[in-house]
Amino acid sequence: MANEQTQSNNNVYWQAPVRHNPTHYNYQDLEEHYNYIKEIARFLGKDDLTQLTDFYIEQGFPIVKFNAGKKGVVTLFEQTSESYDIEH
């Protein structure tokens, strides 16, 4: 999990990003990695909130820190508390 958050419809979401450098991947590699991440997401109950960055961008959802042509996958975790600590 990265220290990256975004907001949509008055909700705060923390991003778990996977970035692929635009000069070091091809779409087949990205798709294969995406499928592995989706398997983990299904186990966590986050299947619907794990998408390719292009999907989120096309939906108008604000995804941060995917500049310079970077592609990847983001899983969103909605913030449900004002603050978190390791015990709660």
Per-residue pLDDT in tens (0 to 9) along the chain, 88 residues: 567 888 888 899 988 898 888 788 788 888 899 999 999 999 999 999 999 988 988 998 888 887 777 888 999 998 887 776 666 5
Can you tell me the distance from the alpha carbon of 27 to that of 30, in angstroms, rounded to the nearest whole number? Answer: 5
pTM of structure: 0.80
Torsion over CA: 70, 26, 47, 2 (sign) = negative
Can you tell me the distance from the alpha carbon of 55 to that of 47, in angstroms, rounded to the nearest whole number? Answer: 14
For position 43, what pLDDT does the model report? Answer: 95
Can you tell me the distance from the alpha carbon of 16 to that of 23, in angstroms, rounded to the nearest whole number? Answer: 22
